[in-house]
Structure 1
Amino acid sequence: MSDSAYRVETTSRLAQWRIDNLASCTYRKSDPFKIGKWNWHLSVEKNRVLFVKLYPEISNLTRENPPIASFVIRVVCSVGDRKALTHPEITDKQLKTNEDFVWGIEVPLTGKFIIDVEFLDLKTFPREGGEPCSIWAEGLTQKRSNATALTSLSRMLTEGIHSDIIINASDGSTGAHRAILAARSPVFRSMFSHDLKEKELSTIDICDMSIDACHAFLNYIYGNIGQEEFMNHRLALLRAADKYDISDLKDVCHESLLEDIDTTNVLDRLQNASLYQLPRLKTSCMRYLVKFGKIYDVRDDFNAFLLCAESELIAEIFHEVLNAWKGF
């Protein structure tokens, strides 16, 4: 029997399994097919009655968040007048195992036939609890809402729509919005909640950041930063994230700085890892220097680094060196 005998053809919400004539006692299970978030199977078992089953493939996803399905299932004879047998519509039935939906068909079927499943909806329970939500409506609505919101925030920043605070960088100024800054940073929120000069004068002085880096910082806050802009200003963004307590930006910078450690930047990365408490970056830099022997490639720079590094960091480096020597 060819592999096509087990293949289920699908569109986004429709699945069709074409089956040749079954012997008098036969069991057949389809290949997995994907509808929504899950892989599914159809199976047929023919004895005196033809049993049709529809169920999701067993996985962690199925166990943790089983689908709640609404669907119409039909068996269509593919010869003659294409007679169809239709099961009454299934609505909001949770499917976990291959016994949760079983359709017994007593009408004898001969020749080739098609099992046709049209998924009307698939729902899951939200992780935070509550009523089940459609995965399709949820995804579409959320994507459109997020895209529209980000576009609007970007326009507010780039077009200066109702800006109510000025940020003074080291070499220029730009406008922003108190509410957005306060929502993204507890430090900004504190500035605007107390009688500080930032609240009184409607200005924020960020003298340790260039205007280009400041624009990148604001673009991140407003959800409009590009990859090239981010890469060009990673260290400035890391400093700003630490200074203004924006943890998600700090995490993004941390992940990015882990990706391209080399001899030209490893000592700077190590210094920043210590300064901003980035343990994974610190570990990666020390492994690069010690375990992979790159400390010899940056010997002159490393000697200068030791003259200005904090004693605690120097102690950690030599501890790493001693551990490496023990391995030989």
Structure 2
Amino acid sequence: MSTSDSAYRVETAPRLAQWKIDSLASCTYRKSDPFKIGNWNWHLSVEKNRLLYVKLYPVISNLNKDQPPIASFVVRLRCSSGDCRSLVHPGVVDKRLKNSEDFVWAIETPLAGKFIINVDFINLKTADPNGGEPSSIWSGSAVQTRSSITTLSYLGRMLTEKIHTDITINASDGSIAAHRAVLATRSPVFHSMFSHNLKEKELSTIDISDMSIEACQALLNYIYGNIQHEEFLAHRIALLRAADKYDIADLKEVCHDSLLEDIDTKNVLERLQNASLYQLPMLKSSCMRYLVNFGKIFDIRDDFNAFLQYADRELIAEIFQEVLNVWKGF
């Protein structure tokens, strides 16, 4: 890719966009290539005259005309030289964006040299055609749908009403009755337990001491096809651990996809650690980019220093190699 092409390219991660600009002449206008966040393609533009104007807007289309995004986001600007090293816009909450004039950030501080524009998309909503409250595009029922199509709808009733249950699962703080046939169908590990003369087969019990009763209930609700989105979100990490332990491939995939969607400064280190532990390269790469390429490592300096005390040495080496690679190119 030529230098001129790369000058207009915006890098993206889940809910994040980053545009690196090497330099701007005293009177210049530049518009980025389109980049996709959520359901829309977007542009960033900069115009330098007496002030520097930064604009964010969706690409004009039928979707944008009929269902313009209602966006909440924060824009940050970092520069390599001049009087200012970092600027942060106060933030935008639930603003309907239809054209290039709906969000304009006028910056009076003189800027020189290279600079980077980061956009953190906090939420994107669409209007209710019936006049109700706008709904977030990131709060759908994909998890419940994925669970439902891999099981039969009546299994949920079998679990909740304990119809002909024949196995007891002992969690760390309680027990739940279930059906060995259902568990064996969904997990090769459970299938092996019930197919050999192991204590699980003889005693009709399974000990899952590393899960709370609430997390264990969420696991069974997923297996039986009646998990709720909020319940899933509350127990994603425990469900990921169980999916890996009991070889439930579709649950592991759902957890991975969900964890990719809402990486932030509060959870990125935990997710990076789990991505390394459970061999999730895409989640690992996204966490690395969030920390290093988007500069979030500086926002959580204390937490990161604590993370260095217990994290895997190979993982720490990968992070610092990524830091070196990024600063070589800046």
Instruction: List runs of 5+ in structure 1 lacking aligned partners.
Output: 1-145
Question: How many percent of aligned residue pairs carry the same amino acid?
Answer: 78
Q: Which has the higher contact order (CA 8 A, sep 6+)?
A: 2
Q: Pick one of 222, 242, 245 that aligns with 2:244.
A: 242
CA distance in 2, matches of 1:273, 1:151: 32
Task: Please say if residues 234 and 253 of structure 1, whose CA atoms lie closer than 8 Å, have aligned partners that are also in contact.
Answer: yes
CA distance in 2, matches of 1:273, 1:209: 19
CA distance in 2, matches of 1:150, 1:189: 19
Task: Please say if residues 254 and 281 of structure 1, whose CA atoms lie closer than 8 Å, have aligned partners that are also in contact.
Answer: yes
Task: Please say if residues 187 and 244 of structure 1, whose CA atoms lie closer than 8 Å, have aligned partners that are also in contact.
Answer: yes
Task: State the match for 2:284 in structure 1.
Answer: 282
Residue identity matched to 2:317: A
Q: CA deviation at 1:302?
A: 0.6
Task: Please say if residues 168 and 205 of structure 1, whose CA atoms lie closer than 8 Å, have aligned partners that are also in contact.
Answer: yes
CA distance in 2, matches of 1:174, 1:288: 39
Query: What SS class does the counterpart of residue 173 from structure 1 fall into?
Result: strand
Q: Pick one of 319, 323, 326 that aligns with 2:325.
A: 323
Q: How does 1:167-316 map to 2 (within 5 A)?
A: 167-316=169-318
CA distance in 2, matches of 1:179, 1:150: 13
Residue identity matched to 1:193: S
CA distance in 1, matches of 2:193, 2:257: 29
Q: CA offsets, 1:226-270, max 9 Å, x none?
A: 111111111110010000000100000000000000101110010
CA distance in 2, matches of 1:167, 1:199: 12
Task: Please say if residues 286 and 320 of structure 1, whose CA atoms lie closer than 8 Å, have aligned partners that are also in contact.
Answer: yes
Q: CA deviation at 1:151?
A: 3.2
CA distance in 2, matches of 1:282, 1:190: 31
Q: CA offsets, 1:202-243, max 9 Å, x none?
A: 000001111111111001001111111111111110010000
TM-score (norm 2): 0.54
Task: Please say if residues 157 and 222 of structure 1, whose CA atoms lie closer than 8 Å, have aligned partners that are also in contact.
Answer: yes
Query: What SS class does the counterpart of residue 162 from structure 1 fall into?
Result: coil
Asked if 1:159 corresponds to 2:140, the answer is no
Computed over aligned residues only, the root mean square deviation of the Cα atoms, in angstroms, reads: 1.5
Q: CA deviation at 1:150?
A: 3.0
Task: Please say if residues 150 and 224 of structure 1, whose CA atoms lie closer than 8 Å, have aligned partners that are also in contact.
Answer: no
TM-score (norm 1): 0.54
Compare CA radii of gyration and give the structure with the larger one. 1
Residue identity matched to 2:185: A
CA distance in 2, matches of 1:151, 1:315: 47
Q: CA deviation at 1:315?
A: 1.2
CA distance in 1, matches of 2:180, 2:174: 19
CA distance in 2, matches of 1:325, 1:244: 41
CA distance in 2, matches of 1:272, 1:180: 28
Instruction: List runs of 5+ in structure 2 lacking aligned partners.
Output: 1-147
Task: Please say if residues 169 and 206 of structure 1, whose CA atoms lie closer than 8 Å, have aligned partners that are also in contact.
Answer: yes
Q: CA offsets, 1:13-59, max 9 Å, x none?
A: xxxxxxxxxxxxxxxxxxxxxxxxxxxxxxxxxxxxxxxxxxxxxxx
Task: State the match for 1:124 in structure 2.
Answer: none
- Runs of 4+ aligned structure 1 residues displaced above 6 Å come to none
Q: CA offsets, 1:276-322, max 9 Å, x none?
A: 11111100001010011110111111111111111110111011111
